[in-house]
A and B are shown apart, each in its own frame.
Chain A
Amino acid sequence: MRRNTFYLLIGVVGILLVGVLWTSIALSMPTLIQGAFLISVLLVYAARRAVPETIMDERTNVITQHAAVATLGVFWIVFFLVSISSVVWEFSRPLGILPPRTPGELPVEVPHFGNLGLLQLGLLGLMIVLYGGFRVYYARKFGDWEADEE
């Protein structure tokens, strides 16, 4: 596959994804866009391997690393603020934990917090665990705990 064909493929996949997103919203089916997105990513990765010309090298990797670090440097603050706010909003509502009912008493419908708060809390936890894990991994990889013989 030629390099320009690869870039054309990315464009077509992007347009198709927009269509799938619209369909997914119309059908209220989030799994549709999730599946399509995963397949698209795998397709693009597979297509990139089929390009014989060099399209990724050390300079592009450096660019990617710098862009990723700069993005994360800003984004984690925004993500953390939004997530922690969502956690507060969700946990401020009744938790739905009711006292035991007497026999024959009908269950009372009360609004209770959804799974969003737990999801956001989980995401925050995952973010911290991932960061810690990657810090340890790269520290070991780049010799943070290497002992000298002297």
Chain B
Amino acid sequence: MARDPLRERVAAVVSVVLGERALPQDGAETGWDSLQQIEVVLAIEDEFAVTIAEADIPRLCSVDDVMAHLHGVRASF
């Protein structure tokens, strides 16, 4: 599988935030509860200098979701 720098970066942020609760490699599984989701959102906003709209927050339940959101707000990601 080709290396995906964005996926690696998002997964790294999630891993740092969740510590030992890090996600499986495929990133498809929902890996966080609602409080952890707040932590992930804040860290993603810090790391990528973006602001995630309130309506989008509940949709960010996996690394894939986060990647899709980032691609949506900025094509250069």
The yes or no verdict on A and B being binding partners is no
Partner-A contacts on B (CB < 8 A): none
Partner-B contacts on A (CB < 8 A): none
